[in-house]
DNA sequence: CTTCATTCTATCCGTTCGGTTAGTTTAGCT
DNA sequence: AGCTAAACTAACCGAACGGATAGAATGAAG
């Protein structure tokens, strides 16, 4: 009854993620999407709902991926938590894009709080980053790996801020390697929490 | 011999800083610059060298301002260093723009390391942020306010990453207040360095 | 093999972009 | 006052933007 699609939606979405991740929303044109994602501008409108809709799909998919590599909620040791930061140096997913920092953080800065659609995604991101750090630290405190008077909220906040800064450093330098000093510093801080 | 200028260059530059700070480079059009900076597109070309040249002037001026409010190089106490973070909540310069985060960090993310002109400014910024943190911590160590085995490099790296993350949080929320938890966490961390 | 809904290709649309050009106004000098 | 160089105004440029339209191609159902 209907003609089958020529383009692969999954490949198109992955290409969209790569483009927007690297260049941001405004800097990617619909002609470029045609070329790299393999969909026509017509299809972009009819099947995806336009450039912004595709962009939000890309962000959502990115967050889905991030969910699988977000900080562990129940690490057994401080070391297991500290090890999470080393993932930046050997990313298990989309390693070719990691040099562009965090897609969602880049997006947050580009839109600067002006888009409610983006802001909603930001909430989800914060839950996955700061929220998980908090759960992890609470878990470690329960295990006795952290002092009884350790402030979990502030510890999580610190890890979140540092992770965000780390991603900015990586994007600015176009290299995950640029994050190494920050990563080492974070790991030291976490290990330092054990004593006292 | 020559006709005197109608527009005020200083006001134009300040307006440019505000616009680019708030919206980024690409999102500010030359027509908008005409309206808000009080210079015509013609003048933008002949006297300023175009949009990008004006933008770089704005960035340089921003860094000049930042130089006056960057972290102290010789704080007397850990508390004096910690107090620097509270400046975000009551900024002494351009308070109306602080809700947009750090102009230079926003710029770094927008260009993503693709502009050498921007990258040069980044170096200066890192010197003013991480470099000064390092000097301050070295100074405090010399004063005996920090343990003898305290790792100054990693401490400075941590403060730098956290500060960057803090600025991103502020921009995303369009409010300096959004940075308060991070600021408190940083202050606690700094104070925590005293003991042991 | 015809039918027909759907996806394709190929233009076309109005808008906005950064920058340029031609021509006018104006201030500082003799 | 008259001259001239600089700074103004206003119109224009080609290019790129996101999106829309018309018509051809196509594949599954009958």
Nucleotide nearest to A44 (CA to C1'): D19
In the prediction, which pLDDT does B7 show? 73
CATH architecture of A1-58: Orthogonal Bundle (1.10)
Three-class SS state of A195:
coil
Contact B172 A101 (CB under 8 A): no
Tell me the per-residue pLDDT of B9-53, one tens digit each, with 9 for 90 and over. 889 999 999 999 999 999 999 999 999 999 999 999 999 999 999
DSSP string, chain B: --PPPSS-HHHHHHHHHHHHHHH-STTS-HHHHHHHH---HHHHHHTT-SHHHHHHHHHHHHHHHHHHHSPPSS-SSHHHHHHHGGGGTS-SS-GGGGGG--HHHHHHHHHTT--HHHHHHHHHHHIIIIIHHHHHHHHHHHTTSS-TT--HHHHHHHHHHHHHHHHHHHHHHT-GGGGHHHHHHHHHHHHHTT--
User: Residue A25 is inside which H or E element, if any?
Assistant: none
A 35-74 → B contacts, CB under 8 A:
none
Closest CA to B105 of A108, A17, A59: A108
Chain A residues touching B122 at Cβ < 8 A: 172
Tell me the per-residue pLDDT of A110-130, one tens digit each, with 9 for 90 and over. 999 999 999 999 999 999 999
Residue A45 Cβ under 7 A from any strand D atom: yes
In the prediction, which pLDDT does B162 show? 98
Q: Name the superfamily (CATH) of residues A70-192.
A: Tetracycline Repressor, domain 2 (1.10.357.10)
Chain A residues touching B149 at Cβ < 8 A: none
Nucleotide nearest to B38 (CA to C1'): D8
pLDDT at B195 over 70: no
Distances (CA, A) of A174 to A4, B25, B108, B171, B180: 40, 19, 11, 22, 30
Residues of chain A with CATH 1.10.10.60: 1-58
Q: How far is B149 from chain A (nearest CA, A)?
A: 12
Residue of chain B minimizing CA distance to A21: B112
Closest CA to A164 of B46, B179, B169, B138: B169
- Walk along chain A (196 residues) in steps of 10 and give the mean pLDDT of each run: 70 94 96 92 92 96 96 97 95 90 98 96 98 98 96 98 98 96 98 82
Chain B residues touching A122 at Cβ < 8 A: 172
Whether chain A has a CB inside 8 Å of the CB on B182: the answer is yes
pTM: 0.94
| Distance (Å, whole) CA B184 – CA A153 | 10
What's the Å distance between residue A64 CA and nucleotide D22 C1'?
A: 39
B169: confidence class by pLDDT, cuts 50, 70, 90: very high
What's the Å distance between residue B19 CA and nucleotide C28 C1'?
A: 35
| Distance (Å, whole) CA A64 – CA A48 | 19
In the prediction, which pLDDT does A25 show? 97
In the prediction, which pLDDT does A92 show? 85
Contact A109 B171 (CB under 8 A): yes
Residues of chain B with CATH 1.10.357.10: 70-192
- Residue B7's CB: how many other CB atoms inside 10 A? 13
Tell me the per-residue pLDDT of B87-114, one tens digit each, with 9 for 90 and over. 999 988 898 899 999 999 999 999 999 9
Closest CA to A94 of A20, A31, A40: A20
Tell me the per-residue pLDDT of B111-130, one tens digit each, with 9 for 90 and over. 999 999 999 999 999 999 99
Contact A161 B109 (CB under 8 A): no
């Amino acid at each position: 009854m209907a003609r089958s699609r020529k383009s692969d939606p999954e490949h198109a979405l992955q290409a969209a993620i790569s483009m927007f991740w690297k260049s941001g929303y405004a800097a990617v044109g619909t002609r470029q999407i045609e070329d790299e994602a393999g969909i026509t501008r017509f299809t972009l409108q009819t099947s995806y709902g336009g450039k912004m809709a595709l962009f939000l799909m890309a962000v959502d998919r990115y967050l889905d991926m991030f969910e699988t590599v977000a900080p562990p909620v129940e690490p057994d040791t401080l070391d297991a938590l500290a090890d999470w930061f080393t993932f930046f140096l050997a990313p298990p997913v989309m390693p070719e894009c990691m040099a562009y920092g965090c897609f969602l953080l880049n997006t947050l800065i580009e839109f600067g709080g002006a888009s409610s659609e983006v802001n909603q995604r930001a909430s989800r991101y914060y839950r996955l980053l700061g929220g998980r750090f908090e759960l992890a630290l609470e878990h470690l405190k329960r295990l006795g790996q952290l002092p009884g008077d350790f402030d979990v909220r502030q510890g999580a906040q610190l890890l979140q801020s540092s992770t965000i800064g780390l991603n900015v450093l990586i994007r600015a330098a176009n290299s995950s390697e640029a994050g190494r000093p920050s990563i080492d510093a974070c790991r030291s801080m976490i290990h330092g929490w054990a004593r006292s």
